Amino acid sequence: MSRPATAAIPRLPVLDWRTFTGAKHSSTPCLLDLPRAQLTHSGRASILLALEMLGVGQGDRVLVPTYHCPTMIAPVTQRGAQALFYPLRADGSPDLDWIASQNLDGVRAILAAHFFGIPQHLAPLRAWCDQRGIRLIEDCAHALFGVSDGKPVGSWGDLAIASLTKFLPVPEGGCLINNRLPGQAFPSLSSPGIKSQLKAAFDIIHVGVNHGRLKGLNRPFSGLLSLLQRFKRRGEAVALQPSQAQIAANEADVPDDYAESFDIDLGQSHRALTAASRCMAQYAPRERIVEGRRQQYRFFAQAFASSPGFKPLMPQLPEHCAPYVFPLWVDHPDPGYFELRRLGLPVSRWDRLWPEVSEIAGDHGQAWSHHILQLACHQDLSPTELQRMVALVQDVYSPTTKTTNKGAA
Ligand SMILES: Cc1ncc(COP(=O)(O)O)c(C=O)c1O
């Protein structure tokens, strides 16, 4: 059975007039407000810079989760270090018993993530790291906001990292927090240059216009664009389009950024964040982001609560957090997942594991990489888009559809 592809539902936040509404501050702490923070080009750049600050390199080993996207692992290998994959418990925490049973010679650091934006309990891991002299890099790429064991997310790691594109309508951005390397300066970052500065500002508006979110500006901006293109040489005109990364990140019908290869672009890792993205990080009101995401998450939790074949992985949304995605366990995810991708649903799955990952008995991470669909639940999804997402997922996995798919195969 062939369904028509849906109109693009944005995978990530997009600029909307509503971006500037609501209270500036949220009662849920934001990692960007932590002391000793450095804005960076991306989350992956922040991991690379964190490893650099720790002096991790050739001959060292870094503990990383079996459940990952390649952007978490590439910085480790880029530094010449070896990734040592550890299993996850059912709640997403590192299986410390398994780790302790391994030969940990040469292990300098552990990367631990607040998957899906649901804060992990990091106090036990912090104590474990302190006992062994292993550095903790707290990966808050999914958790720009939140509280973990009574402290703001981002304050447990020796260093912590964040990814801005997942929470704000920006084409690039990350953050690096230094909690426990007193007196150590951040690596120096080069200025983005005027062309990149202009392009970032342009991209932010262009993506909003592409999604029709800037009423009153959509037409004039598109008109201005065609006018500019008419007067530019072809090469320069191409530069007026949003960057491929920005399009790829935000159009629902393109492969995940990790789907094509493990060759992750870290070339911009020592570049400072552009002024436009920096302003968005500093001035975009935060309450709407937190509350919007919590509302979308609860909508999905309710919609899939009693659907056979589905299980919300973490049905109870804890207080004081802003989820990145809604993790949905699907008993028989294939081939439905590929159909959802083809239809343009903003859903992803971390099913491309780093080649060295091996099976570990009792590891929940590897089961997640097959069964967990990550549904976008950002603040810029409308109620209609959410309903369409639920309807499509249920339709694709309905028993009649599965029979039809099998028949067609
Ligand atoms: C858990 C986690 N850490 C780090 C990253 C890297 O962030 P960025 O895409 O900003 O480079 C990602 C990206 O998806 C991620 O999911």
66 in ligand 1 pocket by Cβ < 6 Å? no
Its pTM stands at 0.92
Q: Among 6, 20, 69, 33, which Cα is nearest to 379's?
A: 20
What letter does residue 194 receive in the DSSP assignment?
H
pLDDT for 403: 45
Contact 58, 106 (CB under 8 A): no
134 pLDDT band, cuts 50/70/90, is: very high
Look at ligand 1, atom 9, and give the residue with the nearest C-alpha: 43
Interval 12-65: pLDDT, tens? 999 999 999 999 999 999 999 999 999 999 999 999 999 999 999 999 999 999
DSSP line for 225-252: HHHHHHHS-HHHHHTTSPPHHHHHHH-T
* Segment among 7-11, 229-233, 301-305, 374-378 with least mean pLDDT: 229-233
Mean pLDDT of 120-130: 98
pLDDT for 261: 56
267 pLDDT band, cuts 50/70/90, is: confident
Q: What is the 3-state secondary structure (H, E, C) of 78-145?
A: HCCCEEEEECECCCCCECHHHHHCCCCCCEEEEEEECHHHCCCCCHHHHHHHHHHCCEEEEECCCCCE
Instruction: For residues 160 and 48, state if they share a domain.
Output: yes
What is the sign, positive or negative, of the torsion defined by CA atoms of 342, 346, 349, 354?
positive
pLDDT for 400: 65
End-to-end CA distance of the chain: 10
Report the chain's mean pLDDT, rounded to a whole number. Answer: 90
What per-residue string of b and e applies to 271-287 under the rule 16 or more CB within 10 Å gives b? bbbbebbbebbeebebe
* Percent of residues, the chain, with pLDDT higher than 70: 89
| CATH number, residue 87 | 3.40.640.10
Instruction: For residues 138 and 200, state if they share a domain.
Output: no
Q: What single letter denotes the amino acid at residue 99? A: I
Instruction: For residues 125 and 248, state if they share a domain.
Output: no
Instruction: For residues 120 and 220, state if they share a domain.
Output: no
Residue that is last in its domain, among 154, 178, 202: 178
Instruction: For residues 306 and 377, state if they share a domain.
Output: yes
- Residue 76 within a domain: yes
pLDDT for 90: 98
Residue that is last in its domain, among 212, 227, 262: 262
- Residue 5 within a domain: no
Mean pLDDT of 358-367: 96
Q: What is the dihedral of CA 149, 63, 269, 205, to 10 degrees?
A: -50
364 in ligand 1 pocket by Cβ < 6 Å? no
Instruction: For residues 231 and 293, state if they share a domain.
Output: no
Q: Are strands 174-178 and 37-40 parallel, antiparallel or unpaired?
A: antiparallel
pLDDT for 227: 80
Instruction: For residues 202 and 70, state if they share a domain.
Output: no
* Burial of 225: CB neighbours in 10 Å, binned 0-12, 13-18, 19+: middle
Contact 45, 67 (CB under 8 A): no
Query: Residue 52 sits in which domain range?
Result: 31-178
- Residue 8 within a domain: no
Ligand 1 atom closest to residue 68's alpha carbon, by position in its atom list: 1
**Is residue 233's pLDDT more than 60?**
no
Higher pLDDT, 404 or 307: 307
Instruction: For residues 117 and 232, state if they share a domain.
Output: no
- Residue 357 within a domain: yes
- Residue 255 within a domain: yes
**Is residue 240's pLDDT more than 60?**
no
Instruction: For residues 154 and 207, state if they share a domain.
Output: no
Mean pLDDT of 188-202: 96
Contact 16, 151 (CB under 8 A): no
Q: Is 289 left (phi over 0), alpha (psi -120 to 50) or beta?
A: alpha
Mean pLDDT of 382-402: 90
255 pLDDT band, cuts 50/70/90, is: very low
Interval 72-104: pLDDT, tens? 999 999 999 999 999 999 999 999 999 999 999
Instruction: For residues 201 and 151, state if they share a domain.
Output: no
What per-residue string of b and e applies to 63-82 under the rule 16 or more CB within 10 Å gives b? bbbbbbbbbbbbbbbbbebb
Instruction: For residues 208 and 249, state if they share a domain.
Output: yes
Half-sphere exposure of 224 (CA within 13 A, CB side): 11
Instruction: For residues 160 and 236, state if they share a domain.
Output: no
pLDDT for 250: 55
pLDDT for 317: 97
DSSP line for 142-160: T-SBBEETTEETTSSSSEE
pLDDT for 259: 43
What per-residue string of b and e applies to 199-212 under the rule 16 or more CB within 10 Å gives b? bbbbbbbbbbbbbe
Ligand 1 atom closest to residue 46's alpha carbon, by position in its atom list: 11
The backbone torsions φ and ψ at residue 404, rounded to the nearest 5 degrees and listed phi first, read: -65, -40
* Cα-based angle 277, 297, 171 (whole degrees, multiple of 5): 15
pLDDT for 3: 62
Mean pLDDT of 288-311: 97
- Residue 230 within a domain: yes
Measure 43 CA to ligand 1 centroid, in angstroms. 5
Ligand 1 atom closest to residue 324's alpha carbon, by position in its atom list: 16
- Residue 68 within a domain: yes
Mean pLDDT of 117-142: 98
Ligand 1 atom closest to residue 164's alpha carbon, by position in its atom list: 10
Residue that is last in its domain, among 178, 202, 227: 178
69 in ligand 1 pocket by Cβ < 6 Å? yes
Half-sphere exposure of 8 (CA within 13 A, CB side): 20
407 pLDDT band, cuts 50/70/90, is: very low
Q: What single letter denotes the amino acid at residue 15? A: L
**Is residue 271's pLDDT more than 60?**
yes
Look at ligand 1, atom 8, and give the residue with the nearest C-alpha: 43
Look at ligand 1, atom 15, and give the residue with the nearest C-alpha: 141
pLDDT for 223: 82
**Is residue 283's pLDDT more than 70?**
yes
Contact 85, 359 (CB under 8 A): no
| CATH number, residue 305 | 3.90.1150.10
- Residue 73 within a domain: yes
40 in ligand 1 pocket by Cβ < 6 Å? no
Domain count, the chain: 3
